Structure 1
Amino acid sequence: MYLRQVYATKHPAISFEIFPPKGNYPINQLLEQLEIFSQLKPDYISVTYGAGGSTKDKTIKIAGMIKENFQIEPLAHLTCITSTKDQIHSIISDLSNHDIENVLALRGDIPTDPNFVFPTPLHFEFASDLIRELRKERKFCIGAAFYPEGHIEAPNREIDFKNVAYKAKQGTDFLISQMFFDNAYFIKSVKKLREMGVNQPISAGIMPITNIKQIQRIADLCGATFPPNLLKELKTRADNPKHVEDFGIQYATDQIADLLNSGVEGIHIYTMNKPRIAEKIIQNIRNLR
């Protein structure tokens, strides 16, 4: 099923993000986690692509497992920064062969290797280029990402909004936001995009705080800021991981409750492969949908 159909019938759509196991960690051990995720009945589950496309084979295999074993629609991430156009077309064929119909088209993060050269004529330079190519295939429902506080590489938020609007017009069916901790950023950015003619469904990306150092590192990478009151609450719990986790679950729940009241079209939970955390949040919001 194309996810555009999910967004047309589910208000809001609830989805999870998971990532493939790293290194030699066997994929099958992820099945136990997926079993728990599936019992929460998400509308779809997205599978990340790994830095530099390092897990692309696992991404496709896991997406196929989600669809075949659990009858849940998968959303396969696809980045273009480290894959040539020919390699992208090969991946597209693999996706089709595994009956994957939904793709989140991303540029991907620039590798830290100082010898890495990008862009080149052999690559798609932007996510918008990848989206346009995927649309030619007429096989996929295509998602794209945006940053409520602006992309860290953009000169300013206004230019970034224009880039998102342009990307949306290249054939995007829906958008998913990066994580944020202040709902005002998301609500204002959605309003701005609507004013610019972006009418695709937009899901809010929510990452529960379960580890302070980890969340600070991830937030730095995507440009998410911490409201002063949130920082204060985290500092008071810094010496007690259980208290941090409990607070993080409640904070995410409160974020989602506020977003549901504002009429958000989708909630996308960045689970960090922690099904019990997702389970607690879903239990908390069950009566709010």
Structure 2
Amino acid sequence: MNISNLFKEKKVVFSFEIFPPKKESKIDTIYNTLEELKGLSPDFISVTYGAGGSLTKNRTCEISSIVKNKYGIEPLAHLTCINSSKEDVTKILDDLKKEGVENILALRGDIPLDYKENSNFKYSSDLIKHIKERNDFNIVGACYPEGHLDSKSYEEDLLNLKRKQEFGATHVISQLFFDNKFFYDFLDKKDKYGVNIPIQAGIMPVINTKQINRIVSLCGAKIPDKFIKIMNKYEYNPEALRDAGIAYATEQIIDLISTGVDGIHLYTMNNPYVAKKISESISSIIHTINNCDKVVN
């Protein structure tokens, strides 16, 4: 199924992200996670490009196939390109097609320390253009409400987003953020650049201080004073911090849904407990919004 059609059928699309464990010995954990997530009825599940982007150790295709062919949930397979040749990408695309995977999230990926620039793919838009030429897949992109760390300016970031749309991306998923104001400002600004494809808000429930520190260092997301106070208050109470993180993310999501967001993409961190708690809290409002026309008619 082409997941771009979901945005024509529903007012709010709700999806999850999972990732392949880095250690081979822990691969069974992802299957246990999927067993628990399947009952939450997400519209699709994205599978990150595992093992640091290694072509030889990547499990994205395998897990995407299981998501679709065992659990009957549409997968969105991540694909990074910064350290790949066209031959590498073509092989992965062929493997995904064989497994019936129809949707790809095209990303540049993190630049490795030993990176040597190759001429095939410098930006995710290059990858989108390459995939589009095959016409085998629906292509999804990423966007950055607070701006990408490597962009020279916010304007450049929005121009890059417009390029992704022009090259074939049918919708985009946002980088995580903790203050909805950044997302709303981003929506206002992207309209001026002619970006009109659906945008899902990426939300990550923060359940421990180690996690939040790593996130900030990787993507530069700003932490609101409100959440800093929560972390300080429950720093030595892991269970309370977990519950507070779930409550904060739930509050973010309800606000976004209430203002007409196209969709919510929940970064589960392979934690089905967190996904379940949030899904239970928001399922009724999503159901009501998605079925309001049916009730009126």
The residue aligned with 1:107 is: 108
Deviation at 1:214, TM superposition (A): 1.3
**What is the alpha-carbon distance in structure 2 between the residues aligned to residue 85 and residue 11 of structure 1?**
37
The residue aligned with 1:162 is: 159
Q: What is the letter of the counterpart of residue 150 of structure 1?
A: G
**Does the 8 Å CA contact 1:51/1:109 hold for their aligned counterparts?**
no
Match of 1:241 among 235, 238, 251: 238
Deviation at 1:54, TM superposition (A): 2.7
Per-residue CA deviation, residues 209-261 of structure 1 (Å, 9 max, x unaligned), is 11112122112211200011211121111111111100000000000000001
**What is the alpha-carbon distance in structure 2 between the residues aligned to residue 74 and residue 34 of structure 1?**
12
The residue aligned with 1:117 is: 116
**What is the alpha-carbon distance in structure 1 between the residues aligned to residue 218 and residue 63 of structure 2?**
25
Q: Does 1:191 align with 2:192?
A: no
Q: What is the letter of the counterpart of residue 82 of structure 2?
A: I
Deviation at 1:287, TM superposition (A): 2.1
**Does the 8 Å CA contact 2:50/2:58 hold for their aligned counterparts?**
no
Superposition pairs of residues 1-16 of structure 1, within 5 angstroms: 1-16=1-16
Match of 2:173 among 172, 176, 193: 176
Query: SS state of the match for residue 238, structure 1?
Result: coil
The residue aligned with 1:31 is: 31
**What is the alpha-carbon distance in structure 2 between the residues aligned to residue 210 and residue 48 of structure 1?**
20
The residue aligned with 2:124 is: 127
**What is the alpha-carbon distance in structure 2 between the residues aligned to residue 215 and residue 148 of structure 1?**
18
Q: Does 1:57 align with 2:58?
A: yes
The residue aligned with 1:282 is: 279
Q: What is the letter of the counterpart of residue 264 of structure 1?
A: V
**What is the alpha-carbon distance in structure 2 between the residues aligned to residue 51 and residue 30 of structure 1?**
14
**What is the alpha-carbon distance in structure 2 between the residues aligned to residue 166 and residue 31 of structure 1?**
36
Q: Does 1:66 align with 2:67?
A: yes
Q: Does 1:41 align with 2:54?
A: no
**Does the 8 Å CA contact 1:52/1:81 hold for their aligned counterparts?**
no
Q: In the comparison of the two structures, how many residue pairs are matched?
A: 285
Match of 1:207 among 204, 208, 219: 204
Deviation at 1:112, TM superposition (A): 2.4
Please give the TM-score of this superposition, normalised by the length of structure 1: 0.95
The residue aligned with 1:226 is: 223
The residue aligned with 2:18 is: 18
**Does the 8 Å CA contact 1:52/1:108 hold for their aligned counterparts?**
no
**Does the 8 Å CA contact 2:15/2:43 hold for their aligned counterparts?**
yes
Q: Which consecutive aligned stretches of 4+ in structure 1 deviate over 4 angstroms post-superposition?
A: none
Match of 1:146 among 143, 148, 161: 143
Per-residue CA deviation, residues 165-204 of structure 1 (Å, 9 max, x unaligned), is 1122110011000000000111111221122111111000
Q: Which runs of 5+ in 2 are unaligned?
A: 287-297
Deviation at 1:141, TM superposition (A): 0.7
Q: Which runs of 5+ in 1 are unaligned?
A: none
**What is the alpha-carbon distance in structure 2 between the residues aligned to residue 11 and residue 216 of structure 1?**
34
Alignment RMSD: 1.3
**What is the alpha-carbon distance in structure 2 between the residues aligned to residue 150 and residue 25 of structure 1?**
37
